[in-house]
Structure 1
Amino acid sequence: MNLSEHHVTSNMSFTQLPGVRLACGFSMTASLALILVEALPGARVAIFHAFNNLGPLAPGFWSGMTAMADTYLALGLLLPFMLWRPRLGALLLLSALIATAITHSIKPILDVPRPPAVLVADAMHLIGHRLDHGSFPSGHAVTAFTLAGLLIVGLRLSVGWSALVLLAAAVLGVSRMAVGVHWPTDVLAGAVIGLISVMLAQLWLNRWSSLNHARWPLPAGIVVTAICALSSPWFNAGYPLGQWANWSVAALGLVALFWASLRYWPQYRNRQRLPLNDLGRK
């Protein structure tokens, strides 16, 4: 997005943004697909096998993709955007709380068996550690689409960029089927929960001015995302073949921190105002 586009979209309600409308349309489509897959006999298993067969073709790739959808690495991925757009701090906080509350309320109540607990070993491909319970919804898919929603809403992305972000989140969601631990309905539900959580969080922020203008969410968010990014090489996501993803997140974090130091240090040295000082005044 160029500066003129950002100036135009900054004066619009977030519900009017083309990228947000695309995300809402994506969420509605995922909801309809979820209903159809559940309603059609055998559709859930057939779709699972179609994506699960992708796993053996590129196990390292899918392992890395599913590792990036882990909350720990996903938070590390957010570090560059937190440094770029300070207002993401409060939105991240509320979105994470809403998504976590919804996901961990549904999982234990339904306790849906995962594919390894239902299908015989010879009928599927399992990459990484085995999981048997708590299938619905996919927590990794919730994380992936919460991250996508944060970028779309928080950065006010255009339709083109929003489509790319949603596509990337979809790949992360598909990875959960490729590695053999989730049904397609789990991923679809995760997509809906993730995107809706961000929309609800932004609506809440629009009405909760004290949090929207507070300064503490930014440094708190930067500290958390920086810790996750820089320590990601030592985080065990359960997929040894995807260790490249851990190092990629760490490298991205280091580059982001180096860029931020070059951008903000001269201002601090010259006693100029930093972005944190301007929160709530723009």
Structure 2
Amino acid sequence: MLRTLQLSGEKKITHTPRIVKIKQESIETISIKSLYFDDELSAKSQPGQYLMVWIPGIDEIPMSISFMSGETESAVTVRNVGSATNELYSMKNNQQIGVRGPYGKGFNIDNIKNALIVAGGSGGVPLGPLSDLLKKEKIKFTCIIGAPVAGELLFLERHQLNTQAVGGRVLPITDDGSYGTIGLASEMAETEIKKEEYDMIYTCGPEPMIKKIVDLALENSIPVQASLERIIKCGIGICGSCVLDSLRVCKDGPVFDGETIKDLKEFNVSKRDASGKSVPI
């Protein structure tokens, strides 16, 4: 049975869950919280990569890594939307979960001088560690954070601290205007790219939003990277539950560049449900 996968050099990940203990809970929004734990492989992963998280007695689900210290401390961030996430959300300090990974391809920051991040709702989870990395590497960036209401703006203070450190800005926008500008993140992105020259756009959120951002980027000849979401069961490209056209999101992604995305016929059109059946988005 396949148990390990060589990543690079001597670094290996295991496909057997590593049991970790929750050490800290952090409430992020009115419906989202982060769970911190110690795991060296997770802490040294690449922004945009994910873990398969095992909730004992319930299920195993993919979760973006939302914090990576570079040493041992890591985190996943969860919204209560189903039986597995409900159980994970309710977990407290000292309870145990299993993690395997990190898996997939993350964001690339090579040769970037001025970036734009567009985060939509809970889709902003993988963009948190990207924000941390851009700050660490002293890369200027602006961050648009969109949410339905003020209480759902994810990682707002984190992005504010990071952008301020590199001379960037945070632009919050809510559907109801309860914080920041009223409107949609994609609308603000359209306005923003007319004001300032960016050499990369990073985005994650609802797929219709991602579609608009990718279209905007391509129309304006700006490279773009987007993190896409599909049902993932294995994490290693075997089961096919995450297939998007001929690509496996779990292995070929979840981060894809705009040139790849624009040719995907199923993007923003259909996805596979838990049984593998193609259903409309």
TM-score range, shorter chain: under 0.3
Quick one: higher RCO (CA 8 Å, sep 6+), 1 or 2?
A: 1
Structure number, greater radius of gyration: 1
Structure with more of its chain in helix, by fraction: 1
Q: Which structure dedicates a bigger proportion of its chain to strand?
A: 2
TM-score by structure 2 length?
0.27
TM-score, normalised to structure 1, is: 0.27
